[in-house]
Amino acid sequence: MLLDELSVSNLGIIDSARVGFTPGMVVVSGETGAGKTLMLGALRMLTGAPARSGLIGPHGKEARVEGRFFLDGEEVVLARSIHPGGSRAYLDGRMVPARALAERLDGVVEIVGQHDPLSLTRSRAVRALIDLRVGPGPVLENYRDAWQALREIEALRAELGGGMRALAREMDLVAYQVGEIDRADFRPGEDEELEMDSKRLGNAEEVAELLAAAHRDLSVARDRVGPVVDAARRVRDLDPARVLLAELVESLEATLTDTLSATREAWEVTEPDPAALARVNQRLNLLGDLRRKYGSNIEEIHNFRRRARARLAEIEALVERASRLDAEHVTAGGNLLEAGRELRLAREDASARIAESACGHLRELGFSDPLLRVEIGEAEPRAFGADTVELRFASDSRLVPGPVGKIASGGELSRLVLALRLASGTGAARIVAFDEIDSGVGGTTALAMGSKLARLSENRQTLCVSHLPQVAAFADSHIVVEREGPRAEVRPVEEDARLRELSRMLSGLADSERGHHHARELRALAMARRAPVPAG
């Protein structure tokens, strides 16, 4: 896995740059203020870090960074652009959320910033280093699960605390509403039937009177149509061409007879029924009451009942759960304490191994007999654990170790962070970038630091922004950032150009013959220290 190419445009003072990267150790150097840390800033952007509009340079309206990686044999291209209104992220040409970049490079790229040495004075950073050595697994997961379980129970207790009476009132109300609708037991479409029945029963007396009058008039009409039928039949007999007229008159007589019969039947069965009308109107009044409360029609009333039943089940479950919360809280608290104890033991074991390993690295970095101790104490459980962590250091075992922030100098802090990184591991990261962690270091110690960084790069790609020639001399490849006015240029250097840069870093004179001689000597020394030791 490696970073193959990085393209930057209008990022700070870097107008445009496209740089290829090799495996192993890559050093980025340049004069103070030349913009060399912007290269790692570009890499940070590709890992999904916050993108500030202040990074937009003066050479356009937006800044853009692209990186090509080879991850497990697969080519992956990530890009990020910054504009005054925000930023955009791209993965293989597709626009994605910035977190998608972080997820893609999670565990692949790790950046050790130039302020990381100061972070050793904070418990959180030391704890994170220890947890790298503890490693992902059941100990950390068990604690996180136990913490989450307790928080959920406490949140539910807070939600229910003082609200049980309100829940009880709501449960009574919802149960009454469900019961009221159930007791009414309205069928779909019953409202239309009731409206029709109410109208029919309410007008029964008037309808009966109208039917009686109609029956009388129809009887008279049927009696009077008899002579007309006889006349039509006589006409047909005298003039066969008038047969249609006779048929029409005969059909009129039949229609009057049928209508008279139907009218009589309707009249006979139509009579007022005050009791039935009262029952229908009572049901309509009940439906009107339900409509005012629960919905404009029977379907909406039934939908309300379904929702009310679901809410009633929720409340009943909450009330039942609330009765068990105290016991569950005690159990969850006990589980968290036990998980915290196991995590604390794992951290104590890991911190002891880290301290021992880091002291070995520190001796190689110029300390004669350093003392490093991680003190882990018991504390109230929090999201990250049930312990306190403090890093204590002494540059010599004959001194009393004290808090790193009060004891260690700037140069000592830089060596400490590298030693702890080497001792704790970088997880699964195959690309590790160091941003000027060699601050305050020089001479023989700088050579030892360069050697350490080179050794770290034997099984991963290591990027180092550095101002030290003793570190740069160990690199497999060297990139220089040069500034001229408001613009910076980024370019790889090899052979003579690389010696010129090492000479500049050594003496400030890029073209000094003596500087070139010292640069060759330093480079040869670094290569000799990097060479494998012959067996036997």
Q: Is the pLDDT of residue 114 over 70?
A: no
Query: Strand 431-435 to strand 109-112: parallel, antiparallel, or no bridges (unpaired)?
Result: parallel
Rounded to whole angstroms, what are the CA distances from 115 to 119, 422, 525?
Answer: 7, 17, 30
For all residues of the chain together, what is the average pLDDT?
86
Q: Check residue 118 and give its pLDDT.
A: 56
Give the pLDDT confidence score for residue 336 in this predicted structure: 95
Rg (CA), the chain: 46
Tokens of 234: 């006589």
Closest CA to 287 of 417, 189, 434: 189
Other residues' Cβ atoms within 10 Å of the Cβ of residue 479 = 24
Two structure tokens written together for 534: 């012959």
On the question of pLDDT at 534 being above 60, the answer is no
* pLDDT attached to residue 535: 40
Whether the predicted pLDDT of 411 surpasses 80 = no
Q: CA 78 → CA 36, 109, 256, 417, distances in Å?
A: 21, 13, 93, 29
The CA-based dihedral angle spanning residues 139, 144, 147, 149, taken in that order and rounded to the nearest 10 degrees: -110
Q: Residue range 331-337: average pLDDT? A: 94
Q: Which residues contact 111 (CB under 8 A, 6 or more apart)?
A: 40, 43, 44, 47, 432, 433, 435
SS3 3: strand
Share of the chain above pLDDT 70, in %: 96
Of 133-137, 248-252, 288-292, where does the model show the most confidence? 288-292
CA dist., res. 222 & res. 92, Å (int): 95
Of 87-91, 185-189, 265-269, 468-472, the range with the lowest mean pLDDT is 265-269
Helix 190-202 crosses helix 274-294 at what angle (to 10 degrees)? 140
Residue with tokens 């009966």: 208
Q: How far is CA 401 from the centre of its chain?
A: 43
Beta-strand ranges (E) seen in 466-504 are 477-484, 487-493
Task: Give residue-wise pLDDT tens across range 15-69.
Answer: 888 999 999 999 999 887 777 888 888 998 999 888 888 889 888 889 999 999 9
pLDDT above 80 for 104: yes
pLDDT (0 to 100) of residue 198: 86
Banded model confidence at residue 162, pLDDT cuts 50, 70, 90 = low
CA distances from 509 to 28, 107, 469, 502, 513 (A): 18, 41, 13, 9, 9
Residue 236: pLDDT over 50: yes
CA dist 381 to 124, 218, 332, Å? 14, 99, 12
* Interval 402-418 mean pLDDT: 78
- Please, which residues have CB within 8 angstroms of residue 80's CB and are 6 or more apart in sequence? 45, 46, 51, 64, 65, 87, 88, 89, 90, 98, 101
Question: Residue 536 above 60 pLDDT?
Answer: no
pLDDT 10s digits, 355-382: 999 999 898 888 889 999 999 999 999 9
State the average pLDDT over residues 100-112: 85
Specify the pLDDT at position 117: 55
pLDDT at 7: 93
Q: What is the pLDDT of residues 504-515, one digit of tens each?
A: 988 888 788 888
Residue bearing the bigger pLDDT, 285 or 136: 285
Strand partners, 30: 481
Among 162-171, 221-230, 269-278, 285-294, the range of highest mean pLDDT:
285-294
What token pair was written down for 290?
A: 């339900």
pLDDT exceeds cutoff 60 at 323 = yes
Confidence of residue 133 (pLDDT cuts 50, 70, 90): confident
> Band of the pLDDT at 128, cuts 50, 70, 90?
confident
Q: Mean pLDDT check: name the lowest of 85-89, 118-122, 426-430, 522-526.
A: 426-430
